[in-house]
Amino acid sequence: MDSDQIEQQIAASDLPSLLAALAHATGDPGLVPGSLWLDPDLALQPEGGWDQEQLGRARELAVSGLRKLTAPEGGSDAPNDALVPELIDWLTGADLDDGYRRMLAEELAVTGDMRIPEPITAGDWPAANTSDHAVAVIGAGMSGILAAHRLEQAGIDCVVLDKNGDVGGTWLENTYPGCRVDVFNHVYSYSGEQRPDWPEYHSSQPVLLDYFRDCARRWGIRDRIRFDVRVDSLAWDDDACRWVIRLETSSGPEEITAGAVVSAVGQLNRPLMPDIEGVDSFAGEQFHSSAWRHDIDWQDLRVAVIGTGASALQFIPHLAEAAAHVTVFQRTPPWLIPRPVYHEPLAEGLLRLFELVPGYAHWFRLRLFWCTHEGTVGALRRDPAWDGPLDQAVSRRNEETRRLLTLYLRSEFGDRPDLLAKVVPDYPVGAKRVVLDNGIWARTLKRANVELVSGGIERVEPDGVRGSDGRLHRADVIVYGTGFRASEFLMPMRVTGRDGDDLHETWNGDARAYNGVCVPGFPNLFCIYGPNTNIVINGSIIYFAECGAHYVVECLRLLAERGVTAMDCRPDAYQCYAARMDEHNSQMAWGISPVNSWYKSPSGGVAQNWPLPLIDYWRQTRRPDPADFELIAEGPAD
């Protein structure tokens, strides 16, 4: 490479992660000197907050690293893996303990998938046959295929049951125009299945669906999946110490059994249709965003959209381009986070560097992971010393974020005071899901064929939607971007545990699970993306699925090692855990603010969100504490 090419490559790079990758690839720790130690408080800033002098030095080092790597006689040495812990310390700039370093090394996975479980050799897992399985995984979405993969790596037979005809879960079902991942794609991917060449920083739904299909194929688990099979009920058989699973299949009802069940059914896949008067009287077409009607020719149609959450803000711009008129009914405006690369392809130079520097894509991902995971959530936590109004902000940092995001809205809508008055939220940042923006929301709302109605809805009528100001907004189609029934975990399956207890009655609308996974009275039922495992602003839910899948395998290992059949979480451990979640959630913006959000159950409690640093979930899912479980040797005592 000549000097110009090297300069161009470096200009396209993220320098801190490039230096870490070059140091790893060349084995030269001099490329990550102490003088360029990253300040963790500035980690979110481009280039980690380096000043001009530091930036100049970093560029020089990157040039020398790239020259060394690409020199005809150089670059042949294998990467120096012994440097990885030191490089992680350097890249984060933080004082990490061994656990944290290990978790980040697992995420980095630069030496391959570090989360592969040791095979379980003890124990007596029944061989698979058509109706009896060691483990049944419900759901073949992001969490379910991962669980099946980890079980397979641990040597445990499983069957995966999915109501759909393919893998992908939410990425299969949500096909609305504009659907894309709003977490950086490098982070929204499995640590052990990283893909450097994402076409965009936030790829579209078809790309995500292909990724999950590819993973299932590469992992060789497709033949373990039974598609088009709906689980109606699960019942724990005390005598057999197994779950009896009733299925609805294309050839009628069927019953299978499994020693353990992993629920990987997701939180956001049962549409919430709003309880608005007159919905059934509407004369035109109406549908929910997750059941998009691709057969409609929008050209001459007037469309009413109800909702302005993450889904609606992705599809409304497309409807505005396709339809004659769009009326947007907004009950609560979302906070917008500016993300200029939201719709951008990955920079060419970056892709070339990923090819050129071994492991660079992994180090790039790790830096995104670090910056977006722990870096932001602190701004949503209440500061007890904060004496401002809690209905607006929960800490000085939260207030500062609010001020910056309000400035962004002013910059976007300043020329339209009528819109600006409607789009600035009046609740703390983080009390509801924030939505990414690259200017498209303002451009859409300013279009002549778009109207934003924020005064509320009185009722739906045959010809359209009547606002609470009495005005009828005529519509040919209504699209509901009204979200999902997130608090109804594991619905509509009927789940009965020991003594015939019904899981939904036990929860009574407020789902809880010890470690987000286990519920007393329901032995060997393990939830992934279960209660209190949703994250709000800091990172990717795939991280939680990886922790959850690991924990499930470790629970099964415990059973095998102890020579027991089942484990049932102790009620006191469950209650203690729920109280801990409540206490911490009550200190977060989403727990403090009374604003509507899918983070809350009908009772007002927060059974959805994880309120602590991510590392805490990693630590508590390393292995089960036997003291928190009743271990059941075989059938009931009597």
Task: List contacts with ligand NAP (CB under 6 A).
Answer: 180-182, 268, 274, 276, 306-312, 314, 329, 331-332, 433, 457, 481-484, 596, 598
**What Cα–Cα distance (Å) separates residue 600 from each residue in 436, 480, 576, 607, 617?**
22, 20, 20, 6, 20
Nearest approach in angstroms of CB 242 to ligand NAP is 35
Q: How far is the CB of 308 from ligand NAP (least distance, A)?
A: 4
Comparing CB distances to ligand NAP, the nearer of 311 and 532 is 311
**CB 344 within 8 Å of CB 510:** no
Q: Which is nearer to ligand NAP, 50 or 427 (CB)?
A: 427
Q: Cβ closer to ligand NAP: 345 or 626?
A: 345
Which residue number, 139 or 307, has a Cβ lying nearer to ligand NAP? 307
Q: Is the Cβ–Cβ distance between 44 and 369 less than 8 Å? A: no
Minimum Å gap between C-beta 330 and ligand NAP is 7
Cross-strand pairs, 518:
514
**Residue 491: which of 267, 279, 341 has the closest Cα?**
267
Closest CA to 431 of 364, 488, 382: 382
- Residues written for the chain: 638
Which is nearer to ligand NAP, 369 or 598 (by Cβ)?
598
Extended strands (E) in 19-175: 132-138, 158-161
Show Cβ contacts of residue 386 under 8 Å, excluding neighbours closer than 6 positions: 393, 394, 395, 396, 398, 399
CA dihedral 48, 53, 56, 62 (to 10 degrees): -50
Nearest distance from residue 457's CB to ligand NAP, in Å?
A: 6
Q: Are 377 and 35 in contact (CB under 8 A)?
A: no
User: How far apart are CB 456 and ligand NAP at their closest, in Å?
Assistant: 8
> How far is 109 from 186, CA to CA, in rounded Å?
13
Residue 414 C-beta: closest distance to ligand NAP, Å = 24
Q: Which residue is nearest to ligand NAP (CB)?
A: 309
Comparison of 557 and 600: residue with beta carbon closer to ligand NAP: 600
Least Cβ distance, residue 309 to ligand NAP (angstroms) = 2
- Least gap, CB of 619 to ligand NAP (angstroms): 25
Output 40 or 481, the one with its CB closest to ligand NAP: 481
Place of tokens 């992992």: 219
Following DSSP, what letter does each residue of 254-298 receive, concatenated?
Answer: EEEEEEEEEE---SS-SB-----TTGGG--SEEEEGGG--TT---
CB closer to ligand NAP out of 180 and 402:
180
Among residues 187 and 549, whose Cβ is nearest to ligand NAP? 187
Chain CA centroid to CA 467, Å: 34
Shortest reach from residue 412's CB to ligand NAP, in Å? 19
